[in-house]
Chain A
Amino acid sequence: MDYFIELFFSGLTRGSIYALIALGYTMVYGIIGLINFAHGEIYMIGAFTAYIIASVLSIYGFPALSIIILAGFAAAIWASAYGYTVEKIAYKPLRHAPRLSPLISAIGMSIFLQNYVLLAQTSDFLAFPELIPDFDFMEPYADKVGSTDMVIIVTTIVVMIALTFFIKMTRIGKAMRATSQDRTMARLIGINVDKVISVTFVIGSALAAIGGILIASHIGQINFYIGFIAGIKAFTAAVLGGIGSIPGAVLGGFVLGLTESFATGYVSSDYEDVFAFSLLVLILIFKPSGLLGREEVEKV
């Protein structure tokens, strides 16, 4: 039973990270119908930014908790700047192009950003400092769930609630929903659609960066390629949960993380991807629009 609980929490931790990245995929898809393949790279850039800021701050002897908060903010802002710029450069000029063009442009952006970080930084794995301290109150449960896991899970849940509130209640959240439903109509009632799309990219990128810094400090190392795998997994999570749906992305992330964790724990770590993607195939057979996705009704 203890083993089960341990696997369960490690699954939730993984799932949280997938969910944080999947939110970016799903929001962008919801609003412009594009799979932003460069999103995983934004996450990687977030991790690198956090690494640099954290290294500098630790030289000056900042306490661990303030380092993670400052590095988190810096990473979120810097990654948002990247997300914003990527949208302006690679997607905005193709707003009225056929669907395939921005997709290719996204893949190009992804390859570009990977190689840019490879050249600007290094191809080696970098040791990422352990930024999340061990909390005393977690001590009795430490053999089942570490402080890092707890921080990651709680952060994801808080972020998801905040995001849901943001989209449901606020002025700009309403504008985002309106834009995703009918872009022309949204324009005609005075919504600056370009701005709304930019905001979507900025929020998605900030979330990915937060995911990046959390996972990096959990695993303890980063390199320029981490965005690719994480991106694919998060994309899978988004599709699993129903792309375009925000609770769906989080649910998909958790389902995927748990599946991988249990597959690793009870079968073999060699098979974790096999189980993860088999699950995807199974779910899509029975629910083609994903777990929480809305079926697209064709109007006659």
Chain B
Amino acid sequence: MSAILKVKNLSMRFGGVVALNALDLEIHEGEIVALIGPNGAGKTTFFNCVTGIYKPTEGDVLLTARGQENIRLNGLKPNQVASKGMARTFQNIRLFQSMSVLENVMIGRHCRTKAYILGAILRNKATRDEEQETIEKSYAILKKIGLEKYVNESASNLPYGAQRRLEIARALATEPSLLLLDEPAAGMNPQETKELEELILRLQQEGQAILLIEHDMKLVMNLSHRIYVLDYGTLIATGTPQEIRNNPAVIKAYLGESDDDSQHRSHKEGANA
């Protein structure tokens, strides 16, 4: 299995605050990888660095996608990153609320289509074919995600779980080699979470590589092949769900530590500073 995403020595500093500290991470083809850690550990910052919203202070982000190997993503703009083959969703819902469900997915096809002003004016065959193809592919994605019954509904009228799934549909429309999901199960009820779990698994079986940020540990443990654990911007553990579950450092990060340990820790941090 070859690596789709290689992150090497990635650091992100905001002034004096080190949000990410020399991260190394790899994701292989067809893998579901989870990135977990306590609140404020830097998970979303990591997503922002990888997708071009932030420019990392140091390090490299290399993507192998769409027949190109090791495309350097750091320094590219978000729209360029997306067209290279990476898509993401957000913690909170960021659908285009006043557009229909179908349009939300169609807009995801933007970077895979070409028609421009001239095409819109002339409406030549190429433009019309492209529009037709966009509609067909978008509809196929909605069907795969199970949202086809809402196709002409306004996105804002969808139930919460369906909105979250629509976000995934829109991300899939960009034909990503790697799909980043930022807390996809946040705010979902158990039924919706279960459906989401099935959906993610189905995508993986179709060969989609997925990187997941999630607080729902049951979901993480059920789905992921490998897990990276982040705390205070530093990777503290990686491994299979089984290994992570039994890793003392992870338990410490999540549950806190005894007095002795914390003294030891603040001492260490003092030394680092």
Contact with B along A157-186 (1 / 0, CB 8 A): 000000000100111111101100110111
- A188-B88, A190-B79 are known contacts. Are A170 and B115 too (CB-CB below 8 A)? yes
Which DSSP category, helix, strand, loop or mixed, fits chain B's interface? helix
B96 touches A172 (CB 8 A): no
Asked whether B108 is an interface residue with its Cβ less than 8 Å from the other chain, the reply is yes
> Is B78 within 8 A of A170, CB to CB?
no
* Contact in complex: A189, B107 (CB < 8 Å): yes
Query: Contact at B110–A190, with CB atoms within 8 Å?
Result: yes
Please indicate the chain A residues that have their CB under 8 angstroms from the CB of B117 in the complex: 172, 199, 202
B96 touches A190 (CB 8 A): no
Tell me the complex Cα distance, A159–B163, Å. Answer: 35
User: When each residue 173-188 of chain B gets 1 if its CB lies under 8 Å from chain A and 0 otherwise, what string results?
Assistant: 1100000000000000
Q: Is A187 interfacial (CB 8 A cutoff)? A: yes
Question: Residue A121 at the B interface, CB < 8 A?
Answer: no
**B17 CB-CB contact with A under 8 Å:** no
**Residues of B in contact, count (CB < 8 Å):** 37
In whole angstroms, how far apart are the Cα atoms of A199 and B119 in the complex? 14
A96 shortest CB reach to chain B, Å: 13
Shortest A14–chain B CB gap in Å is 28
Task: Judge if A193 is at the interface, Cβ distance under 8 Å.
Answer: yes
Task: Please determine whether A181 and B97 come into contact, CB atoms closer than 8 angstroms.
Answer: yes
Asked if B120 is at the interface (CB within 8 A of a chain A CB), the reply is yes
Contact B110 A189 (CB under 8 A): yes
| Most chain A CB neighbours (cut-off 10 Å) among B87, B96, B99 | B96
| CA–CA, A169 and B121, complex, Å | 12
Does B78 lie within 8 Å of A184, measured CB to CB? yes
> A191 contacts B115, CB within 8 Å?
no
> How far is it, in angstroms, between the C-alpha of A191 and the C-alpha of B52 when the chains are bound?
13
Given contacts A171-B113, A181-B98, contact A191 B79 (CB under 8 A): yes
Within 8 Å CB of B148, what residues of A? none
Contact, CB under 8 Å: B103 / A190: no
Determine if B106 and A174 form an interchain contact, defined as CB atoms under 8 angstroms apart: yes
Residue of B nearest to A171 (CB): B115
Q: Is the CB of B107 within 8 A of A178?
A: yes
Q: Which of B98, B107, B131, B173 contacts A175 (CB 8 A)?
A: B107
Is A192 engaged at the interface, CB distance under 8 Å to the other chain?
Answer: yes
Measured CB to CB, the residues of B under 8 A from A are: 51-53, 77-79, 81-83, 87-88, 90, 94, 96-99, 103, 106-108, 110-113, 115-117, 119-120, 130-131, 134, 170-171, 173-174
Task: Point out residues on A near B: beta carbons under 8 Å.
Answer: 166, 169-175, 177-178, 181-182, 184-193, 199, 202
A-B contact pairs, 13 of them (CB 8 A): A166-B120, A174-B106, A177-B96, A184-B53, A184-B94, A185-B90, A188-B78, A188-B81, A188-B88, A189-B108, A189-B171, A191-B111, A192-B79
